[in-house]
Structure 1
């Protein structure tokens, strides 16, 4: 890890755009240790077994047919940063295209590059696993190679910090991420639905406005995504994982002031709220109508709960 090189890379950001994306990746990686990818045979077979078991159990339990992504990678932190620079770049493209340069484009480029490299570096040190539907990619959603990533150094580090069994912790992460694959497999329309809200929101920002409806719909949909995954986890995972969740939540609430600020800026507290609110909704629905009743949410976009219905499952049941 070389903080000086990271800062030097940001301050030398160049090009004609609002962001020097090569510098974003280089600076984020310079300030983040890649971490070891020396996997034992037990590690490799463990990841493969956990992913297959999660797929088979979720197929059986949820009655949902889905395939694992073609790309399933065990990554170090630098691999994860490289993969997600592409995502950030796709999301930012409308802003870069529509927003005119400032009077001091060089200064603005350095600030933008530094901000994005800080975000990716922080996330790269903290993300454990990721299901990536490759939103806003050039290919149509049905033609995309969705991806599943596991950031091995982070999984090892957090398991050590929490004093929990690495195989059990790794398996828990695998089940959670495969649960997301099950959702997108059950709802072929979901990628397009999310993309359109992201595009509307970003286009409005590029025009100097805020599309509150698009962001609200995106938040509601992601609350459903996270909540349904929690329901599947509760029904599918091998044992109770309340201890893992409690320890991980306590760890997230700790850390120094910089870490706390980064979590607020990146909306990680909002993500936790999505987990909890969505899980409460789907548990109430499943208790009343079973898992098959809860899975109806993925039949069509109109079946997504509204913001009000998330807090009143009976209202959703009456409508759907």
Structure 2
């Protein structure tokens, strides 16, 4: 019997596995020359560009995936994108400047908010360090969406595969199963990497992406201030006050971070992927051309369709983000009142947060989530109104519990918030009084005997208590109490 030509002294391999291994980095002498293949396929001939493309394609088929989505590939790609151009390491001088700015920010915030200084230490990060510190949060934000999209994409590709190719799959089937997750991981990594070039702090998108860590990105802070005709020291200080205000809020409203992530997870649980759209696009996808795959993903082809429940969840998220950013905006304005450039910086931040940058738009098209507080100005007006009515302590006390938080209707009518809350509190007080009476045993106290001929000895009834001692006939004929005399 002749030996299998793919058998090199070890176990036999199926033809497709061997072909892919030789084509995408198998390292054997018979492998194809990437540059020759590029010329034949019309791909870029630049060696660096080709190297990146082949690395990504090889990762699609061979890199181990942590579940349906290859998160390691997402992080690696994010770091690669973050380092594109220049991502210098933070210098000791920059670290000292960030430390000093955050220290001053804490002192300025003390009279502006009732929340005490957060215990978190300040850090100065490069873009790659921001990626490392926030990637777990991005995974939590996108995993439900990513899993559904990657599974749908893998199923669509398998459906479009010719029957004769399916019979050849053999051991290569696992590579195809990982392909959808790798595709999504590559695109998510690009979105996060691009965002690392725009953000100026750990909470710049309104979420505590790095837990309780306060951090500024010196390279991006410098880029933010370009063309503003404002001293870099003032720019850094203003952004440090915003970062420290976020840190105080999330530290002293411990339910808030879970509330925000919970809304996003509520949205994600209801995602539905349009399989017909994916199958249509899958016909035109060339697995050997990552650029075509990335263009399809970036164009929102695999974006989930929104259901009414998801639309409601996104409205709640938008309101919650607006309340967070509005409070930070109001508190920062009060804390930086003596900073000459504060008004100009405040307006620039407002516009930037309301419109979002290019990377935020890419992220939104990828997973259908927009992390922009469109109603930031309305929320800022509401918090300013509450400070005038209740003072700093009364305003900040609203963050004690999610049930106390303003709603989208309150953003529509900030001046009517207190009146609506008074009416709600009045109706709740009756319920609270009844509940307190029940917990204190008020509904179980014995009713004094008022007529021995019409009451059993020691019988207790709510009716007797409610009638303030009036005689109430006992209708329980089978009662176990003493017989009437």
TM-score range, shorter-chain basis?
Answer: 0.7 to 0.9
Deviations 1:75-118 (A, max 9, x none): 11111112222212223344566774532345423431232022
Deviations 1:159-210 (A, max 9, x none): 2343431111111111001111121233122123223323222222279865
Unaligned 5+ segments in structure 1 are 136-144
Over 3 Å counting, the alpha-carbon distance change for 1:107 and 1:167 in structure 2 is same
- What is the match of residue 277 of structure 1? 378
What's the CA shift for 1:147? 1.4
Could you state the TM-score of these two structures normalised by the residue count of structure 1?
0.80
The answer to which structure has the higher helix fraction is 1
Helix, strand or coil: the match of 1:199? Answer: helix
Helix, strand or coil: the match of 2:88? Answer: coil
- What is the match of residue 297 of structure 1? 398
Contact in 2 for aligned 1:64/1:182 (Cα 8 Å): yes
Contact in 2 for aligned 1:3/1:31 (Cα 8 Å): no
- What is the match of residue 362 of structure 2? 262
Contact in 1 for aligned 2:110/2:117 (Cα 8 Å): yes
Worse-matched range after superposition: 211-220 or 88-97: 88-97
Matched, 1:23 2:73: yes
Count residues in correspondence.
Answer: 307
Output the CA distance in 1 between the equivalents of 2:146 and 2:56: 18
Alignment RMSD: 3.5
Matched, 1:211 2:286: no
Helix, strand or coil: the match of 1:212? Answer: helix
Contact in 2 for aligned 1:281/1:310 (Cα 8 Å): yes
Unaligned 5+ segments in structure 2 are 1-47, 158-176, 274-303, 422-485
Helix, strand or coil: the match of 2:68? Answer: coil
Helix, strand or coil: the match of 1:32? Answer: helix
Over 3 Å counting, the alpha-carbon distance change for 1:4 and 1:151 in structure 2 is farther
Equivalent of residue 35 in structure 1, options 58, 64, 87:
87
Equivalent of residue 116 in structure 1, options 180, 188, 209:
188
Helix, strand or coil: the match of 2:270? Answer: helix
Output the CA distance in 2 between the equivalents of 1:247 and 1:96: 33
Worse-matched range after superposition: 301-310 or 160-169: 160-169
Helix, strand or coil: the match of 2:406? Answer: coil
Equivalent of residue 128 in structure 1, options 197, 200, 204:
200
Map 1:230-249 onto structure 2 (within 5 A).
230-237=329-336, 238-239=338-339, 240-246=341-347
Contact in 2 for aligned 1:77/1:151 (Cα 8 Å): yes
Output the CA distance in 2 between the equivalents of 1:191 and 1:260: 20
Deviations 1:284-308 (A, max 9, x none): 3323433333223212111111111
Over 3 Å counting, the alpha-carbon distance change for 1:21 and 1:314 in structure 2 is same
Over 3 Å counting, the alpha-carbon distance change for 1:282 and 1:5 in structure 2 is farther
- What is the match of residue 173 of structure 2? none
Over 3 Å counting, the alpha-carbon distance change for 1:167 and 1:8 in structure 2 is farther
Contact in 2 for aligned 1:162/1:247 (Cα 8 Å): no
Output the CA distance in 2 between the equivalents of 1:124 and 1:232: 26
Output the CA distance in 1 between the equivalents of 2:383 and 2:350: 21
Helix, strand or coil: the match of 1:62? Answer: coil
Worse-matched range after superposition: 99-108 or 146-155: 99-108
Contact in 2 for aligned 1:27/1:117 (Cα 8 Å): yes
- What is the match of residue 295 of structure 2? none
Equivalent of residue 226 in structure 1, options 325, 338, 352:
325
Helix, strand or coil: the match of 1:273? Answer: coil
Output the CA distance in 2 between the equivalents of 1:47 and 1:281: 31
Output the CA distance in 2 between the equivalents of 1:225 and 1:260: 18
Contact in 1 for aligned 2:354/2:372 (Cα 8 Å): no
Contact in 1 for aligned 2:74/2:188 (Cα 8 Å): yes
Output the CA distance in 2 between the equivalents of 1:23 and 1:263: 17
Could you state the TM-score of these two structures normalised by the residue count of structure 2?
0.55
Contact in 2 for aligned 1:133/1:146 (Cα 8 Å): yes
Output the CA distance in 1 between the equivalents of 2:359 and 2:320: 27
Map 1:130-149 onto structure 2 (within 5 A).
130-131=202-203, 133=208, 146-149=212-215
Deviations 1:204-232 (A, max 9, x none): 22798653333322221111100000000
